[in-house]
Every structure is written in C-alpha cells, then in structure tokens.
Amino acid sequence: MIDDMKFARKLEGIATLEYDSHDVLLLAHRLRPNEKDALQRFYEALRSAVWHLLASQTYGVEMNRWHDVLRQIAALHAPLAERVRVLADLALTSGRFGFLAYGEEGQTWHVQEILAAVRKGGGSLSLSEACSATGISFEFMLPITNNMAALGILDKKGYGGEAKLTLPFSKRIPTEV
C-alpha cells in the first residue's frame, strides 16, 4: 500500500493537473487491484483531471496524451476499466471537437463567418440575426457560439434566439476615428 498522506497529495496533484499524464500512468502502475478504496480515489482524481482539461479547452497533443494514458489505465485496472474508458472517450471527443472547431490557429470558416456577421452588425447581433446573416442553422450555431464564448472569442448574454452576441472589447474594430 502506498503511504496514505503521500497518496492523498498525489491524488490532489492529479485532480488539479499539477502532474502530467506520464506521472499519472506511473502512479497507476503502483496501485494494486485489491486496493479498492485507493482505486476509487484514484478514479475520482482522474475524473477531476479530465473535467479540468475540458474546462480549460485543452486539445491537440496534450489531450491525445491524456486519452492514451486513460486507455492504458483502463486496461491496467479492470475494476475501473469501464469508467476510465468513458473518461478517455470524453477526452478524445473533446480534443477532436476543439481541433475541428478551432483548428491550429483557433478559428475556422464558421467562426470567421460568425465574427464577420457580428462586426457587420456593429459589434452586436442577436443569435437569430447571426443565423440569418450566415445561413448557419440555429442548432449548429448554438454550440459554436457557446464554445466561442467559452474561449473569449465573443461575448454571449441571454438564451435562445434572442441571445446577444457581442465582440469583446479587444476584438472590436473601430468604425470611426
């Protein structure tokens, strides 16, 4: 059994992403299948780490590393396998969405199109007006603008079709000098 105080500190480090994915895998190799309480605590730390990754909008190589490590942990610890595979799949899906939605430079055609429509609307537009201006369906526009707001690309206030999209101050282009 791993010293409980050291183990608790390591779990906290995992949960808050102080440790990288490689360190997490090393700890996983030290855990034994009969240490059910330790495995459960380890899983809870992994779950927190994945939520931190998702909230920080991490994608690309780092998210792929975490996906690989989580899959290895699932293979290593049968009692955790199903739940850890779900975390791995969530990390991979999120990483792929981030890459597809924002690409290497952080923006793709639909993001550019939405930003252009908001600029053309004087820096502020309702969600339904943005749909009309871009031809993007409401169902597709909603998650895109939610992610743009999460990344700070635009500000979004309100709900539904009347939600207001505005450019953050730093992204506004002056129309008059």
- The structure tokens listed for 64 are 């792929």
Contact predicate 68/20, CB 8 Å = no
**CA–CA distance, 150 with 11 (Å, rounded to integer):** 27
Alpha-carbon Rg for the chain, nearest whole angstrom, is 21
Sheet of 155-157, strand order: 124-126, 164-166, 155-157
Asked if pLDDT for residue 106 goes beyond 50, the answer is no
Model pTM?
0.54
* Average pLDDT rounded to a whole number, residues 126-151: 84
pLDDT of residue 55: 72
What number is the average pLDDT over the span 165-177? 59
What pLDDT, on a 0 to 100 scale, did the predictor assign at position 138? 84
Query: Quick one: average pLDDT of 97-116?
Result: 63
Does pLDDT of 174 surpass 50? no
The yes-or-no verdict on residue 97 having pLDDT over 60 is no
Q: Is 109-171 a domain of CATH 3.40.50.2300? A: no
Q: How confident is the model at residue 41 (pLDDT cuts 50, 70, 90)?
A: very high
3-state secondary structure of 125: strand
Tell whether the model's pLDDT for residue 91 goes beyond 90.
Answer: no
Contact indicator for 165, 145 with CB cutoff of 8 Å: yes
Distances (CA, A) of 31 to 1, 52, 107: 8, 23, 42
What is the average pLDDT across 73-95? 87
Average pLDDT of the segment spanning 126-130: 92
